[in-house]
Amino acid sequence: MAKTKPTKVLLVTTEAVPFAATGGMGEVCSALPRAMNKTKKAEVRVIMPLYEDVAFNFKEKMTFVCNINVSLSWRNQYCGLFEMDYDGVKYYFIDNEYYFKRPNPYGYYDDAERFAFLSKAVLELLPHIDFKPDVLHSNDHLTALVPVYYALEYKNKAGYAGIKNVFTIHDINYQGVYPSVIAGDVFGISEENLGVVEFNGKINLVKGAIVTCDKITTMSPQYAREIRLPEFSGGLDGILIENRDKLCGILNGIDTEKFNPETSPSLFKNYGADSLESKKKNKVELQRMLSLPEDADVPLVCMIGRMVAYKGYDILRKSINKVGPDGNILDTNIQLIVMGHGDADIEGYFSHVQKMYDRRVRALITYNTDLMIKVLAAADICLMPSRTEPCGLTQMYACRFGTVPLVRATGGLIDSITDCEKTADGNGFMFEEYDSDVMDKTITRAVSVFYYHKDEWRAIQKRGMACDFSWARAANKHIELYKSL
């Protein structure tokens, strides 16, 4: 029997660890290709911008491949291509200093033009690399034009036929919405093709990707179901229902080697499921480091994630602001660490709360993996009260470190966490209604188990640590999807 050839996949992204990352997508776009390549059933390469802040020690190892000019509307721009192998994956880097030699990946007035150039460059470069992909796999609104341009301009060109397009929605809240008047000037999309990307009188790049790609994936099965509902879809529920046969949810994985309490160099003391007493050492050392009262027996609650309202920071704020005879959540005997960055108002609020509750609260306004691991190893409860959550990685990281997740029932949180009071194999606590009172009651329930039911608490920790959140599972699901196209 002839051996099946590996499926060739070119994954298009705007970020990947360790070259550039602002959040979870950067983790996914490095870990998933690595895991798929390990199976030998797929050959996955990654293409992304060569940003200014890609570390010099990586740049000096890159090899120049070629340079071409890329036409975009009336522009004709230089495009260089470099490559390097890293951790079992070949990475391509698109060079254009006008667009990418800037201090940050995103947040500029011309982001629409910058990433339209990226999408066009990916397609223009295909004949110049020794790799014809079977699948182009694009990610989120900033690369949503890859399937659009392929459908409008490239699928009938010599050398381009037969390529399938997969588009991943990491977060439906980001859709790439722009005034329709810039379609020709910025995106190079003609009036006759405007309908492909037009939605409600504006350009919507995610809508364009949905209607032109062959498959749509999301970060979890539950999120794939939720985004077809008006309250979760950002207005695209009708389009997603029309294209529901394309839609598939695959739960993300995590790097189980990097997030391993037995070996992680970030910990003050390593431990495992059979040595959970050593977890307390991490709590006391972190308390000392952050100038919190050192108490191994006080419940330490952490909340780690982008500081935006829908991640649950708004209902946590309501819990802290409560007045009345019962007080607020911080009047109970807990310590709270919030970590992340995002909206200035939310950052400022929690910095203020830290000053008010100096012996109970720390606000770490940063994104730092080493510190995040220290916090997860020290904490007892990981709070994720999201209004919507495409997948969530932090609850999986928390399980690895024996930190019990307390989550709201949405998206990937439903697919990864089960309530310990509803099933014998529960690995966390869950609440349904997006409400601060309901969340507070669930926190009180968890704290009660922590204090008064030590054996049950230890069992929940061990069940979480035993969960299989490896990328191997997600990698095989993606490969099955590619082969079905």
- Kindly report the backbone phi and psi dihedral angles of residue 77, in degrees, each rounded to the nearest multiple of 5, phi listed first: -105, 145
Q: How many CB atoms lie within 10 A of CB 158?
A: 6
Confidence at residue 1, expressed as pLDDT on a 0 to 100 scale:
45
Tens of pLDDT along 193-204? 999 999 999 999
Confidence of residue 22 (pLDDT cuts 50, 70, 90): confident
Closest CA to 24 of 221, 220, 229, 197: 220
Please, where in the chain does CATH 3.40.50.2000 lie? Answer: 7-253+472-483, 276-468
Alpha helices in 162-264 (DSSP H): 183-187, 194-197, 205-212, 221-226, 230-233, 237-242
Name the pTM for this structure: 0.87
Asked whether the predicted pLDDT for residue 323 surpasses 80, the reply is no
* Stretch 50-66: mean pLDDT: 93
Closest CA to 10 of 186, 96, 108, 134: 134
CATH of 276-468, one of 3.90.79.10, 3.40.50.2000, 3.40.1800.10, 2.60.40.10: 3.40.50.2000
What are the structure tokens assigned to 75, written together?
């522009």
DSSP 36-51: HHHHTSEEEEEEEE--
Query: What CATH architecture applies to the domain 7-253+472-483?
Result: 3-Layer(aba) Sandwich (3.40)
* Stretch 266-288: mean pLDDT: 97
Cβ atoms of residues 411 and 249 within 8 Å: no
Taking CA atoms, 55 is separated from 20, 61, 115, 236, 322, in Å, by 9, 11, 21, 38, 46
Q: What is the mean pLDDT of the chain?
A: 94
Confidence at residue 152, expressed as pLDDT on a 0 to 100 scale:
97
Tens of pLDDT along 144-176? 999 999 999 999 999 999 999 999 999 998 999
What are the structure tokens assigned to 470, written together?
């490896």
Q: What CA–CA distance (Å, rounded) separates 453 from 449?
A: 5
Tens of pLDDT along 448-460? 999 999 999 999 9
